[in-house]
Amino acid sequence: MDGAPVASTRETIEIGLKVIAPTVASGVVKRRRAPMALAERLQTDRAAVRLLSRLRDRHGPGPLRLRVPGRSIAVVLSPAHVGRLLEGTPEPFTPDNAEKHAALGKFRPHGVLVSRGAATAERGQFWKRHSHEAVLQTHRPLHHLAPALLPVLHEEVDRLTAVADRSGELDWRRLERSWQRTVRRLVFGGAADRELIEALVSLRRSGNWSYLGRRRSRARAALAVRLRAAIDGAGPGTLGEAVRGQGADASVRPEDQVAHWLFAFDAAGIAIARTLALLAVHPGHRLAALNELATEDPDEPAELPFLRACALESLRLWPTTPMLLRDGTEPTRWGGGSLPGGTAFLVYTPLFHRDPARRYADRFAPEIWVDGTAEEDPALVPFGGGPARCPGRNLVLFSVTSALARLLREREWRLSSPSPIFTGRPVPATLDHFGLAFRPAPARHPLLGGSAHTSAAFG
Ligand code: HEM
């Protein structure tokens, strides 16, 4: 290393305690309930953003190297550097970062995100990426399977609404269970049982421990067998069927790629809950969303740009991938200094998404996703950026907005949990999705009636 700014030992410890520890404790692969509740109480993201902003003022744009024995680690502090890092994937910045590999390898050792470097060609990084893009139809706002997926989303949301009506509340536990079943049906139709998902969740919990967890090779092999069987049996109009249609050979390990999808769909469930909370306390935006819905046929897949922007905004405010990691595959120059090959680069996205210098930092501002503001900013990256940007983005946004659309058409969802999100106040830095709960009330909009099925609960 020469000329790159280095944090003092005290600053390094502070970053460890205020930025890395809360993120890791909340569960990087499978979120943990109690640490998330504590993080919300302490508003840990606020303290992390303040600390990194202060260090940027003190040390300049960085990247700021940490004083850690045995590993070169640098924290990215400038939006332009975020852009450079993500655009420079997979060479000279591989997404197959060592810590991420240890965590995600627990349940999908051959996933595209942990394929790397010299192995780029050998292990088919591009081929894998290509097959993800082909099946997920990355570049189409509406997947060609959308007409088959929409009725599944509607059926499951109606079931969930009926449960909420009966119990008087929609809480995270019910929403999560319903969303897991929805995802299982979107991916496999009826061909996957709950045990498959439970086996995956158990391995993901081990992934939270990265290097420290047990290897669990036998459980992983058993999961791979189950996943292959579920892909083989996936029904018509499902993503699993589309995977089969790719005719991928075994070296691509379709079961590992699908394991990643099942894991990643969790974040979509979190986005649904948080967007619903945002709309519950922003009545003007809720009305705008309802006005948009009133112009669409509910039984036809639709892009719903405003509702999409609301979902994207929930992911800006509370990114579900708060740390983007890259390992340098060679020495790299940054301003006046350089960093050695093998350096781990850490992008803590809330630093940029909630930078107090941005006028919309702590405000619910869906307009930034439609007026070009977000697009022009290399550091607003809830779905990552560059060649490894989430290939499921459009499919996710379709699933999330379709589920939200159905929920909003049927009921007005009032926040019933003591979550720290209020009308007319800045949006909290940390929001525990486990703690969210809503009370259903009759939907009120001149152009939107609730469906006969679910409105019955209100007579
Ligand atoms: C709200 C939901 C989601 C969010 C916020 C999200 C976010 C992200 C982010 C930030 C990355 C890049 C990670 C990095 O650069 O290190 C990523 C990668 C990826 N995502 Fe998503 N994702 C979501 C859901 C999904 C879903 C549902 C799928 C599949 C159906 C999916 C498939 C992938 C794949 C395959 C990659 C790896 C791409 C590569 O390495 O080339 N994601 N996602």
Of residues 1 and 276, more confidence is placed in 276
Q: State which residues form the domain around 291.
A: 9-458
CATH number (domain holding residue 278): 1.10.630.10
Whether 265 is covered by a domain: the verdict is yes
Question: Which residues sit with their C-beta closer than 6 Å to ligand 1?
Answer: 95, 112-113, 129, 132, 136, 260-261, 264-265, 267-268, 271, 315, 320-321, 324, 382-384, 388, 390-392, 395-396
pLDDT surpasses 60 at 155: yes
For residues 122 and 105, what is the distance between their CA atoms, to the nearest angstrom?
A: 18
Q: Are 47 and 107 in contact (CB under 8 A)?
A: no
Nearest-CA residue for ligand 1 atom 20 is 390
Structure confidence by residue, pLDDT tens digits, 31-65: 888 989 999 999 999 999 999 999 999 999 989 99
Chain position carrying tokens 């924290």: 75
Question: Residue 431 has which token pair?
Answer: 């929001």
- Distance between Cα 265 and ligand 1 center (Å): 9
Structure confidence by residue, pLDDT tens digits, 234-243: 999 999 999 8
C-alpha separations of 218 from 107, 131, 215 in Å? 11, 27, 9
Which of 84, 186, 383 is the best mutation target for the ligand 1 pocket, counting ligand atoms within 8 Å of the beta carbon and taking the most?
Answer: 383
Nearest-CA residue for ligand 1 atom 7 is 383
Nearest-CA residue for ligand 1 atom 12 is 384
Nearest-CA residue for ligand 1 atom 19 is 390
Q: Are 110 and 123 in contact (CB under 8 A)?
A: yes
Nearest-CA residue for ligand 1 atom 30 is 261
- Distance between Cα 402 and ligand 1 center (Å): 19
Query: Once rounded to an integer, what is the mean pLDDT over residues 399-421?
Result: 97
Whether 1 is covered by a domain: the verdict is no
Whether 4 is covered by a domain: the verdict is no
Whether 302 is covered by a domain: the verdict is yes
End-to-end CA separation in angstroms for the chain: 71
Nearest-CA residue for ligand 1 atom 41 is 388
Confidence label for 392 from pLDDT (cuts 50, 70 and 90)? very high
Whether 284 is covered by a domain: the verdict is yes
Structure confidence by residue, pLDDT tens digits, 320-344: 999 999 999 999 999 878 999 999 9
Nearest-CA residue for ligand 1 atom 24 is 264
Whether 318 is covered by a domain: the verdict is yes
For the chain, percent of residues with pLDDT exceeding 70: 86
- Distance between Cα 316 and ligand 1 center (Å): 15
What pLDDT does 251 receive?
66
- Distance between Cα 264 and ligand 1 center (Å): 6
- Distance between Cα 391 and ligand 1 center (Å): 6
- Distance between Cα 122 and ligand 1 center (Å): 22
Q: Cis link prior to 147 (omega < 30° from 0)?
A: no
Number of domains in the chain: 1
Nearest-CA residue for ligand 1 atom 40 is 113
For residues 252 and 374, what is the distance between their CA atoms, to the nearest angstrom?
A: 34
Atom of ligand 1 nearest to the CA of 239: 30
Whether 435 is covered by a domain: the verdict is yes
